[in-house]
Amino acid sequence: MQIRQLPGMIEAGLATAAGFLAAPFQLAIRGYVGWVFLKSGWLKLSDWSQTLALFQSEYHVPLLPPTLAAVVGTAGELGCGTLVVLGLLGRGGALGLFAVNAMAVISYRDVLLSEGFEAAIGQHVLWGFMLLVLAVHGPGRWSLDRLLGIAPTPRNVTL
């Protein structure tokens, strides 16, 4: 073995290890980010009068009346959250939650973008990146998409 081959061997070993970790990593992302949105949707649903009041006074969703915005937001969190957790139509569910997340930031920007709320906006950024990872890489081997044969076989793309 020559010294020049060592970096390639190390990279190959790391790539192999990463391949074994991809499925549990994608499952962990799906479980965490999906649960965050499922909890939020369930909270909205469990006190609907409070949810409607918040959408009328605090959350300013562009182009939608408050009641419709509350219904769409709650349905998006619950529906897409469920899809993400299960890995069913995983990319679509992730993009749906990404849209819900983006709309939450836009609707509540007066608070989230103000001083002292850096951690709150940071959470939304983290969730957005996690959802984009799922949209780009898919829900993974441990998903209903893969089990049902819905997900295409991943291809290596060289840029």
The two structure tokens encoding residue 97: 């939650």
How many alpha carbons lie under 13 Å from residue 48 in its C-beta half-sphere?
6
Mean pLDDT on 28-38: 98
Using an 8 Å Cβ cutoff, are 124 and 105 in contact?
A: yes
Distance CA 72, CA 100 (A): 9
Mean pLDDT on 80-109: 96
| Model pLDDT, residue 159 | 53
Distance CA 2, CA 33 (A): 45
Q: What is the DSSP letter of 1?
A: -
Among 12, 21, 30, 10, residue whose Cα is nearest residue 90: 30
Using an 8 Å Cβ cutoff, are 29 and 126 in contact?
A: no
Q: At residue 152, does pLDDT exceed 90?
A: no
Mean pLDDT on 77-96: 97
Q: Which residue would you say has higher pLDDT here, 6 or 41?
A: 41
Distance CA 40, CA 58 (A): 16
The two structure tokens encoding residue 76: 């998006």
Q: Which secondary-structure segment (H or E) carries 112?
A: helix 109-112
The radius of gyration computed from the CA coordinates of the chain, to the nearest angstrom, equals 19
Predicted TM-score (pTM) above 0.75 = yes
